[in-house]
Amino acid sequence: MTKEELMKEAIRLSEENLDNGGGPFGAVIARDGEIVATGVNRVTASHDPTAHAEVSAIRAACQKLNTFNLSGCEIYTSCEPCPMCLAAIYWAHLDKVYFGNGKTDAKDIGFDDSFIYDELTLPREKRKLPAEMLLDKEAIRAFKMWQKKQDKIEY
């Protein structure tokens, strides 16, 4: 399939999802022009704030390919990824992101993620969501154990 055909599929999924109780977002993960997996937004339908189209597609692709590393794959998404999805795309090592609508288009219909982008630029103590380091001396033990672990799988 061409890039345009893959994007049309992501857009089709976003439209179809509206009839199935989901949000207006769809995503396709492809490798060498072939669809590996798809995802749609199921946040309200599944009561899961992480059930965005991109995250759902990443989860499905990883399960199908039996890997956590999607190098060699690309993602086609009906809208520019939010901060959470963008982070997941980086963690999944996808090669490229293609998107239809921009984040301003999403903001215009009530999906405004700009506050998260703004918060991430602030020092922890100035963010709206309070965050407090707690039991760091105890928590560091697992990190030290990880450093010494001989059979760890790096990611």
Any idea which residues carry the catalytic annotation? 54
Q: What angle do CA 74, 11, 36 make, to 5 degrees?
A: 35
Q: Give the DSSP H or E segment for 39.
A: strand 34-40
CA 93 to mean position of chain CA atoms: 11
Length of the chain: 155
Question: What is the rounded CA–CA span in Å between residue 128 and residue 52?
Answer: 23
d(CA 40, CA 66): 21
Dihedral Cα 137, 139, 140, 146, nearest 10 deg: 160
Alpha carbon distance 67, 87 (integer Å): 17
